[in-house]
Amino acid sequence: MFGKRAQDSTEATHFRSHRVTAINGRFFFSTRENTLEGPFFTRTDAERGTQVYVTRMQLANAIKASQTL
C-alpha cells in the first residue's frame, strides 16, 4: 500500500502484517501504538476485535478534533 498517513511527513510504502497472534491458546492483536489487545477465544473474535478497535480509535479522534474547534 503506497500512501501517506496523517502523522507521516512523506509518502511511503506500508505493508500490512498479520497482527493476530496466539499466546497460550488465546488470541491477541497488536496495534500501531505497540499495545497487545485481548485475549480472545478465537482468531475470528480477535479479527473482529481489530475492527472494533479501529472504529473506537476513529471515534475518539473525531471527538478530540471536534473539541478543538
Calpha distance 69→64 (Å, rounded):
9
What's the pLDDT at 23? 95
- What distance in Å separates the CA atoms of residue 16 and residue 69, rounded to the nearest whole number? 33
The answer to whether the Cα torsion of 18, 22, 27, 30 is positive or negative is negative
Domain that holds residue 42: 2-67
**pLDDT at residue number 1:** 45
2-58, pLDDT tens digit by residue? 455 566 666 655 555 678 999 999 999 999 888 999 999 999 999 999 999 999 999
Residue (of 48, 17, 15) closest to 38 by Cα position: 48
- Predicted confidence at residue 56, as pLDDT, reads 95
Q: How many domains does the chain have?
A: 1
